[in-house]
Amino acid sequence: MEPRLNLQTNEFAAKIGKRFAGVGLALQQSPLPRTTQELVMLRASQINGCGFCVDFHTKEAGAAGETTLRLHLVAAWRETTVFTEAERAALALAEEGTRLADANHGVSDETWADVRKHYDEDQTGALVYLVAMVNAANRIGVIVRNKGGSYQPGMFAELVNQA
């Protein structure tokens, strides 16, 4: 199955994509640890079934120093011992913020309290925007049917630098 639309070659879509990439760059430069960012984006992408985004975030996390073991265990993070309490709070926020339609409470008070226990105001703000942005990216990827498997770390650096 081929992608339905190439958002990088379509002039209008590429203009929006540059702004989207600008938000991504701001998040990368936030005080939230890069590996935490990639774990959160990977988990949301797994839930949303975006093959391209799973490929992207797995490879970017590896390039950022994340271990293969931890990457393999993200989908079952609750049943592992390899994630810190702070990472577990971020992963819980990612799941609850992604599965809004699956629960009547959205993000629970318990999850929010765990996030606030481990992250300061700026890091929490980054986490909130990160979850929202990765969910938007996942939906875009699924809608246009971007497939995983061909991403190379840093492939979009030029696009991000132009944002």
Domain boundaries, the chain: 32-147
How is domain 32-147 classified at the CATH fold level? Answer: AhpD-like (1.20.1290)
Cα 112-74-114 angle, rounded to 5 deg: 15
Q: How much is the pLDDT for 24?
A: 92
Q: Name the token pair of 2.
A: 């081929």
Average pLDDT over residues 72-97: 98
The pLDDT-based confidence of 4 (bands split at 50, 70, 90) is: confident
Q: How far apart are CA 144 and CA 131, in angstroms?
A: 20
Q: Is the confidence at residue 118, as pLDDT, over 80? A: yes
What is the crossing angle of helices 121-144 and 11-28, to 10°? 150
Q: How much is the pLDDT for 155?
A: 72
Q: How far apart are CA 83 and CA 65, in angstroms?
A: 14
Question: What is the phi/psi pair of residue 9, to 5°?
Answer: -100, -15
Q: Is the confidence at residue 160, as pLDDT, over 60? A: no
Identify residue 159 by its one-letter amino acid code: L
| pLDDT tens-digit map of 121-134 | 999 999 999 999 99
